[in-house]
Amino acid sequence: MSTTDDLAPGTIELETDMRPQRLWVLPPIMAIALAMLLVFNSQGLAKWSRDLPPSTFNLHVADAAGWWHELMVKLGPAKAFEALRDAIGVELK
């Protein structure tokens, strides 16, 4: 009886025809994930920016993050995320 470690790659049904992905697929995936976070979790961005060390630049970052969160609340995605978070009872810190 052989274990999974003993088998050659591609011999298990789930691995058949699988090939390693090239690195060029990573940036679009990261960009999509970041965009979704910025749109749906704008509150997290605003919280993070308020926790930055005090400086003139960080003040501008916090102002921009606050403006972005207000915009996402007005447009709806932030409200949807907050409603979902409240519905499942998760407190994000």
- Say if residues 43 and 82 touch (Cβ distance below 8 Å): yes
Domain boundaries, the chain: 41-93
| Listed range (10-19, 54-63, 65-74) with the worst mean pLDDT | 10-19
Question: pLDDT for 5-27, tens place per residue?
Answer: 566 655 566 666 667 778 888 89
Question: pLDDT for 78-87, tens place per residue?
Answer: 888 888 888 8
3-state secondary structure of 74: helix
Tell me the whole-structure pTM to 2 decimals.
Answer: 0.64
Locate tokens 């102002």: which residue? Answer: 63
- Say if residues 81 and 43 touch (Cβ distance below 8 Å): yes
